[in-house]
Structure 1
Amino acid sequence: MSLRLPDTVQLPRVEILAPVLGQLTFGALAGFAAGYALKKVGKLAAIALGIFFILLQLLAYFGFVEVNWLQIQRHVDPLLQPDALEGLWRNLLALLTLNLPFAAAFVPGFVVGLQRG
């Protein structure tokens, strides 16, 4: 038993679909690679930041340096406000969704890469 399409249904030609399928495939692979790499680099950055903080605390404990945490907080707090984070997220999404077929595959690939990384 074979499936027969009605005569009125026209399938798109391969020449028309090939560029879109190529963008979708490359977008998914690039998204996965970017998400995977971001998670690995993020882990390394978190470890490096933790080690730096421990060393800084040790130097402060033994009196080699004095840290003005209030000054650091004044510089960091504006970067962590919801408006600043939302603006950063919107700019990132605008960048990633510039080419829609590529972006349509990139974003899910990116999320899977973050999960697997």
Structure 2
Amino acid sequence: MNFSEAQMREQAQKLAPTPWLVTEEDHRIQRKRERRLLIAEADEHVMAVWHERFPEDVAAKNKFWEQRRAVRAAERTNRRERKALAEAQCELAVASTWDDNDPRWEDAFLSSDYTTEEDENEE
């Protein structure tokens, strides 16, 4: 880009004309984007007006989401506590029934296939 007034690439891009849309598909995509942008801007404007006219609705919405966040946080805490309890019970059950030299440790943690000793003997 040969723009003597532009010192940086961004400035030159701002001075350059926008590129032509080449195909009908490019035109269609551009129109679709423009419609979506207009809809989004209209939605933002309508929501701003709504917030000004009905502050009690805004307060109710904020209260609802605050309560919902609190309920979800309590549920997460409950799940974490139940998981920790279950893991502790599993550790106690495994630790209390298997000693360190029990061969079931190898089966539980190392074996990933489903063959039995009988299957191995047949081969």
Query: TM-score by structure 2 length?
Result: 0.38
Greater relative contact order (Cα < 8 A, sep 6+) = 1
Largest Rg, 1 or 2 = 2
Query: TM-score by structure 1 length?
Result: 0.40
